[in-house]
């Protein structure tokens, strides 16, 4: 097999050893005579996977005991609606707008007609940074941030402090670095970047927030429904949770969250250095202080400093031919983007850096 | 491999050839150098799967052009809430209560505070039949039925006729027999019985219903959001859709819906005959007119006609040892249940019938 390097933003690369393990036991799970995806969600065979995935999430991510871990569906996009539904209790909700995904979350607060406010935004500078001077009202029903902005390649390196419950959309950087839970009251993510195939949403939420929702919230959209039943109220996405569990094992086998953070920093440094040392041929979208360890968004510039979209297209095309896919930037800002999630290897980033240097020589 | 016969109610058995194909290409999808579950939902590679699954659904199920086919998440349980949210327009919603799942759907109408009514119920006879004399109001916002009742083993063999839009929860009998679309305006199902692993919800809905929802419906819970974007508004459960597509191919290769219906009838007859010819040792839960082709719920009786729960437990235990799992009835009615969905083979049902006869000899 000629395995490619997948720099796509999500669904994204999965550790090869995890895929191989899933392949090995896909038809006959541990000699049980059936696939894990055929097993009842009430069976002992599946329950072990489910329970283990919850326990490993708690262990690896150091989740305190007063938080519930939920396995839901619908992606982060459904969380945008569930958050105001469950957590708005007549007060004000406060949001930071750091990009497309924050904007989508804010839109759902608006649709539901709750009292909401944007306390900081970097929209004016094409979301090239995490807004500074974020001041949440300690009395807000909740305060909301997007920890990593997949499209613009920005990431919080420290979370703002507030007495209001802080909600973090960590869809594109979950499990990439340790979390200071004293600052965070709820963290959620679609699985398809750092935690497996799409179709699973992980929600880690303080028990006191779970209890907030009123009687008018539909059963399936209420955190309490799922918390009360260990996410087995209805049939969960069992195969996705199985894959997630394999990934957690891989994380643990490779030293856990601190070790993956170090690896992520090494990978990101390699790539940002290549950009910074290109004499202005490659220019990062994000300001240096706000650079993401997960998504590196950048442009190819003409000598006059303008983006060269023709060369960017050529780059993406030739990179694909060289076995590196998913490097085209998001349609909203164009350019190039390399997503270097937990499962992207250092070899992959090195191959990209080598290709960038070769491409620059040939095209400048 | 010693493959067992899985009579579980869901997640449930998947055709072996489908599992083997998925296994073969799990790590390297058609020589692309990555797994299908790693592919972007915007990639050509995934798009072919997505488009094919929609086209095959339409072709095999003869879905008319004025219906949208949607791939959603959250299971049938989330549909219970989405239906009143999207389709209630100030008039009355009418439900038939034919079992636990209908009751759950009705509960969500109540939570949302819409005007609803139960027009028929078989609750008084422990849901042992599809209620007769169903009379919907032609002016209702919608009329709601559960085509197959997984727990009680009952199934509609003809849908009621009404001018109101008829909504059908076909979670446990989708793709098991042809649908008369002139009677049905929306049909939905969780995938985990006849259409693959859990985590995918299939909704087939008339375009004029899609347009109904007002501005207050959250984006992700609005059918229109997904219809407008071919179910690619956000990241869909790509691996589940891939598995669903393989199952549709298997259905087509085996003669399509009419052929599977015939096979299902043969399997069900074999099993019901075994029950009916047991001199009252085995007794079906459902009345003969309402018997399901998918879920056969039955009891073992004492000579006085009482259920013998001790023998039922023994049956389930010994069946498991003989390589037949999932035969314990649902906790709400106890007894035994054999789920014989599309992917259950005739050999499997024959093995069960043989076991039943042997068990009766040994225990009566």
CB–CB of B184/B166 below 8 Å?
yes
Please name the residues between 192 and 211 in chain B that touch chain A, using a CB distance below 8 Å.
Answer: 192, 196-200
C-alpha distances (whole Å) from A150 to each of A33, A49, A98, A100 are 41, 30, 10, 9
Q: Are B213 and B74 in a shared domain?
A: yes
Does a structural domain hold residue B264? Answer: yes
Does a structural domain hold residue B4? Answer: no
pLDDT band of B171, cuts 50, 70, 90 = very high
pLDDT tens by residue, B283-324: 999 999 999 999 999 999 999 999 999 999 999 999 999 999
Does a structural domain hold residue A8? Answer: no
pLDDT tens by residue, A229-254: 999 999 999 999 999 999 999 999 99
Please report which helix (H) or strand (E) contains residue A295, including its range: strand A295-300
Domain termination site, one of A189, A219, A253: A253
Which of these, B75, B152, B28, B215, lies nearest to A218 by C-alpha position? B75
Q: Are A60 and A126 in a shared domain?
A: yes
pLDDT at B209 over 80: yes
In b/e form, how buried is each residue of B232-265, taking b as 16+ CB within 10 angstroms?
A: ebbbbbbbbbbbbbbbbbbbeeeebbeebbebbe
Instruction: Say how far apart CA B8 and CA A42 lie, in whole Å.
Output: 10
Q: Are B237 and B299 in a shared domain?
A: no
Q: Are A103 and A227 in a shared domain?
A: yes
- Directed axis angle between helix A44-60 and helix A238-253, to 10°? 40
CA B30 to chain centre: 31
Inter-chain Cβ pairs, chain A and chain B, closer than 8 A: 219
Question: A255: helix, coil or strand?
Answer: coil
Question: B166: helix, coil or strand?
Answer: strand
Domain termination site, one of A204, A224, A253: A253
Instruction: Say how far apart CA A79 and CA A84 lie, in whole Å.
Output: 9
**For B218-237, what is the mean pLDDT?**
98
Q: Are A114 and A154 in a shared domain?
A: yes
Instruction: Say how far apart CA A227 and CA A233 lie, in whole Å.
Output: 9
Which of these, A269, A313, A316, A309, lies nearest to A291 by C-alpha position? A269
Chain B nearest C-alpha distance from A21 (Å): 10
Looking at every residue in chain B, the average pLDDT score rounds to 97
**Quick one: how many helices (H) and strands (E) in chain B?**
10, 14
Q: Are B100 and B78 in a shared domain?
A: yes
Place of tokens 């599809």: B130
Task: Give the residues across from B166 on adjacent strands.
Answer: B143
Q: Are B237 and B309 in a shared domain?
A: no
CB–CB of A31/A45 below 8 Å?
no
Instruction: Say how far apart CA B364 and CA B111 lie, in whole Å.
Output: 49
Does a structural domain hold residue A1? Answer: no
Residues of A annotated as part of the active site: 101, 169, 193
pLDDT band of A30, cuts 50, 70, 90 = very high
Provide the strand spans (E) within B245-348: 282-284, 295-300, 324-325, 336-339
Q: Are A163 and A57 in a shared domain?
A: yes
CATH of the domain at B268: 3.90.1150.10
pLDDT at A225 over 80: yes
Question: B285: helix, coil or strand?
Answer: coil
Does a structural domain hold residue B83? Answer: yes
CA torsion sign for A338, A341, A347, A350 is positive
Specify the pLDDT at position A177. Answer: 98
On whether any CB of chain A is under 8 Å from the CB of B68, the answer is: no
- ipTM of this predicted complex? 0.98
C-alpha distances (whole Å) from B308 to each of A179, A298, B301, B303, B313 are 54, 71, 5, 10, 9
Specify the pairing of strand B166-169 against strand B142-146. Answer: parallel
Preferred mutation among B7, B188, B239 to probe A, highest tally of A CBs within 10 A: B239
Does a structural domain hold residue B136? Answer: yes
**For A143-148, what is the mean pLDDT?**
98
pLDDT tens by residue, B133-157: 899 999 999 999 999 999 999 999 9
Please name the residues between 5 and 34 in chain A that touch chain B, using a CB distance below 8 Å.
Answer: 6, 8-14, 16, 19-20, 22-23, 26-28, 31-34
Question: A148: helix, coil or strand?
Answer: strand
CB–CB of B152/B286 below 8 Å?
yes
**For B243-271, what is the mean pLDDT?**
98
Chain A nearest C-alpha distance from B248 (Å): 17
Preferred mutation among A237, A241, A325 to probe B, highest tally of B CBs within 10 A: A237
CB–CB of B204/B69 below 8 Å?
yes
Q: Are B71 and B100 in a shared domain?
A: yes
pLDDT band of B66, cuts 50, 70, 90 = very high
Which of these, B330, B356, B348, B337, lies nearest to B292 by C-alpha position? B337
Place of tokens 């000899």: B361
Ramachandran angles phi, psi of A303, nearest 5°: -65, -25
pLDDT tens by residue, B70-123: 999 999 999 999 999 999 999 999 999 999 999 999 999 999 999 999 999 999
**For A357-362, what is the mean pLDDT?**
98
Ramachandran angles phi, psi of A179, nearest 5°: -110, 135
Please report which helix (H) or strand (E) contains residue B93, including its range: strand B93-97
Instruction: Say how far apart CA A25 and CA A21 lie, in whole Å.
Output: 7
Task: Give the residues across from A295 on adjacent strands.
Answer: A339
pLDDT band of A332, cuts 50, 70, 90 = confident
CB–CB of B209/B223 below 8 Å?
yes
Total domains in the fold of chain B: 2
Provide the strand spans (E) within chain B: 5-6, 67-72, 93-97, 116-121, 142-146, 148-149, 154-155, 166-169, 186-190, 201-206, 282-284, 295-300, 324-325, 336-339
| A244 vs B contacts (CB less than 8 Å) | none
Its pTM surpasses 0.80:
yes
Chain B nearest C-alpha distance from A217 (Å): 7
Please report which helix (H) or strand (E) contains residue A94, including its range: strand A92-97
Torsion angle, CA of B145/B149/B152/B156, rounded to 10 degrees? 70
Specify the pairing of strand A92-97 against strand A115-121. Answer: parallel
Share of residues in chain A with pLDDT > 70 (%): 100
Across the interface, whether the CB atoms of B78 and A74 are under 8 A apart is answered yes
CB–CB of A96/A119 below 8 Å?
yes
End-to-end CA distance of chain B, in Å? 34
Specify the pLDDT at position A244. Answer: 98
Residues 6 or more apart whose CB falls under 8 angstroms from that of B298 comprise B153, B275, B282, B283, B284, B285, B335, B336, B337, B338
**In terms of residue numbers, what domain contains B308?**
256-363
- Token duo for residue B202: 């299939």
CATH of the domain at A89: 3.40.640.10
Place of tokens 């994204």: A12
Torsion angle, CA of B128/B132/B134/B135, rounded to 10 degrees? -150
**Quick one: how many helices (H) and strands (E) in chain A?**
10, 14
Domain termination site, one of B253, B287, B310: B253
**For A254-270, what is the mean pLDDT?**
98
Does a structural domain hold residue A26? Answer: yes
pLDDT at B1 over 80: no
**For A123-137, what is the mean pLDDT?**
96
- Token duo for residue B208: 């004029």
Q: Are B209 and B267 in a shared domain?
A: no
Please name the residues between 299 and 328 in chain B that touch chain A, using a CB distance below 8 Å.
Answer: 323, 325-326
Q: Are B63 and B21 in a shared domain?
A: yes
Q: Are B44 and B109 in a shared domain?
A: yes
pLDDT band of A1, cuts 50, 70, 90 = confident
Does a structural domain hold residue A351? Answer: yes
User: B78 to chain A: nearest residue by CA?
Assistant: A220
């Amino acid at each position: 097999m000629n395995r490619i390097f997948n720099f796509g933003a999500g669904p994204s690369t999965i550790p090869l050893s995890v895929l191989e393990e899933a392949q090995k036991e896909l038809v006959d799970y541990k000699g049980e005579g059936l696939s894990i995806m055929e097993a009842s969600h009430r069976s002992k065979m599946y329950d072990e996977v489910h329970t283990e995935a919850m326990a490993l999430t708690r262990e690896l991510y150091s989740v305190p005991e007063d938080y519930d871990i939920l396995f839901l569906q619908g992606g982060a996009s459904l969380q945008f609606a569930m958050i105001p539904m469950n957590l708005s209790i007549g007060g004000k909700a406060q949001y930071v707008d750091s990009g497309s995904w924050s904007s989508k979350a804010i839109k759902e607060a608006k649709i539901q007609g709750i009292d909401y406010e944007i306390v900081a935004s970097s929209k004016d500078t094409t979301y090239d940074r995490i807004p500074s001077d974020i001041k949440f009202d300690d009395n807000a029903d909740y305060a909301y941030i997007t920890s990593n902005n997949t499209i613009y390649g920005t990431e919080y390196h420290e979370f703002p402090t507030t007495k209001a419950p802080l909600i973090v959309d960590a869809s594109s950087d979950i499990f990439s670095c340790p979390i200071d839970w004293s600052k965070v009251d709820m963290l959620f993510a679609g699985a398809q970047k750092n935690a497996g195939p799409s179709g699973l949403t992980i929600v880690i939420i303080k028990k006191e927030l779970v209890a907030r929702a009123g009687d008018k919230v539909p059963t399936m959209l209420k955190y309490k429904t799922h918390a009360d039943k260990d996410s087995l109220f209805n049939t969960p996405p069992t195969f996705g949770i199985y894959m997630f569990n394999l990934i957690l094992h891989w994380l643990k086998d490779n030293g856990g969250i601190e070790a993956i953070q170090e690896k992520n920093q090494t990978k990101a440094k390699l790539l940002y250095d290549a950009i910074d040392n290109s004499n202005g041929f490659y220019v990062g979208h994000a300001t240096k202080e706000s650079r993401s360890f997960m998504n590196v968004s950048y442009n190819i510039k003409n000598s006059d400093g303008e983006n060269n979209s023709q060369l960017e297209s050529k780059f993406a095309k030739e990179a694909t031919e060289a076995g590196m896919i998913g490097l085209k930037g998001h349609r909203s800002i164009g350019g190039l983007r390399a997503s270097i999630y937990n499962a992207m290897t250092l070899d992959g980033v090195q191959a990209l850096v080598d290709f960038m240097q070769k491409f620059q020589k040939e095209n400048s």
